C-alpha cells in the first residue's frame, strides 16, 4: 500500500512540474519582450523617443504572443557601405529564426533579433553614435554566434 501511495505522489508531482514548464516559443517571446523593453528604456533615457516607441511596441507585441519580425531593409535608410553589412546580418538572423533558433536557442535568438534592430536603428540615424552602433553590432554578433552554436548541436 505504501508503494502505491508513493507512486501516486511521485506521478502527481511530475504532472504538476510538467504543467509548469515553459515552452521554448514562450521563452523566446518572453526574452524578446525583455530585450525590447531594455532597448526602449535605454532609448528613452537618451531622448530617442521614436526608437523608444518602436522598441516598446515590439515588446508589447511579444508580450501579447504576437509574431515580431526584425526590421527590414525598407524600414530604415542606411548609409552606403553600411547597408550591405546590415543586410548580410539580417540574412544570417533570418536563417537562425527559420532554422529553429526560437526553439533551440530562444534567449540567444531573441537577443540577436533585438540587437539587430538596435544596430539597424542606430546606424540609420542622421548622426549615428559610433559607440552606440558598435554596442548594438557587438551584441548582435555575440548573440548570433551563440544561437548558431546551439543550432549546430
Q: Using the 8-state DSSP alphabet, how is residue 20 labeled?
A: T
Domain that holds residue 65: 24-151
Q: What's the Cα-to-Cα distance from 75 to each of 4, 11, 49, 78, rounded to whole Å?
A: 62, 52, 17, 9
Q: According to the model, what pLDDT value does residue 6 have? A: 41
Does a structural domain hold residue 94? yes
pLDDT of residue 21: 65
The reply to whether 10 falls in a domain is no
Q: What is the mean pLDDT of residues 126-149?
A: 96
Q: Is the pLDDT of residue 132 over 60?
A: yes
Q: How far apart are CA 21 and CA 147, in angstroms?
A: 22
Q: Which pLDDT belongs to residue 9?
A: 42
Please check whether residue 14 lies inside any domain of the structure.
no
* Cα angle for residues 40, 30, 73 (degrees, 5° grid): 55
pLDDT at 111 over 60: yes
Is the model's pLDDT at 144 over the cut of 70?
yes
Residue 98 falls inside a structural domain: yes
Name the domain count of the chain. Answer: 1
Q: What pLDDT was estimated at residue 20?
A: 53
pLDDT of residue 52 exceeding 60, the answer is yes
pLDDT band at 12 (very low <50, low <70, confident <90, very high): very low
Q: Indicate whether 13 belongs to any domain.
A: no
This prediction's pTM: 0.85
What is the rounded average pLDDT for all residues in the chain? 88
**Residue 116 placed within a domain:** yes
Give residue 23's pLDDT band: very low, low, confident or very high (50, 70, 90). Answer: confident
**Is 56 within a domain?**
yes
Question: Quick check: 62 pLDDT over 70?
Answer: yes
For residue 85, tell me if it sits in a domain: yes
Phi, psi of 69 (to 5 degrees): -90, 150
Amino acid at each position: 500500500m505504501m508503494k502505491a501511495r508513493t507512486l501516486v505522489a511521485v506521478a502527481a508531482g511530475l504532472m504538476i512540474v510538467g504543467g509548469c514548464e515553459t515552452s521554448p516559443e514562450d521563452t523566446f517571446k518572453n526574452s524578446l519582450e525583455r530585450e525590447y523593453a531594455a532597448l526602449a528604456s535605454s532609448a528613452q533615457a537618451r531622448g530617442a523617443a521614436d526608437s523608444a516607441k518602436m522598441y516598446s511596441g515590439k515588446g508589447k507585441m511579444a508580450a501579447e504572443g504576437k509574431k515580431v519580425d526584425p526590421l527590414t531593409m525598407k524600414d530604415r535608410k542606411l548609409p552606403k557601405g553600411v547597408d550591405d553589412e546590415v543586410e548580410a546580418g539580417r540574412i544570417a538572423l533570418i536563417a537562425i529564426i527559420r532554422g529553429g533558433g526560437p526553439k533551440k536557442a530562444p534567449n540567444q535568438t531573441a537577443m540577436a533579433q533585438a540587437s539587430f534592430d538596435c544596430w539597424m536603428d542606430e546606424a540609420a540615424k542622421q548622426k549615428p553614435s559610433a559607440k552606440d552602433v558598435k554596442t548594438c553590432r557587438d551584441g548582435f554578433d555575440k548573440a548570433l554566434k551563440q544561437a548558431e552554436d546551439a543550432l549546430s548541436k
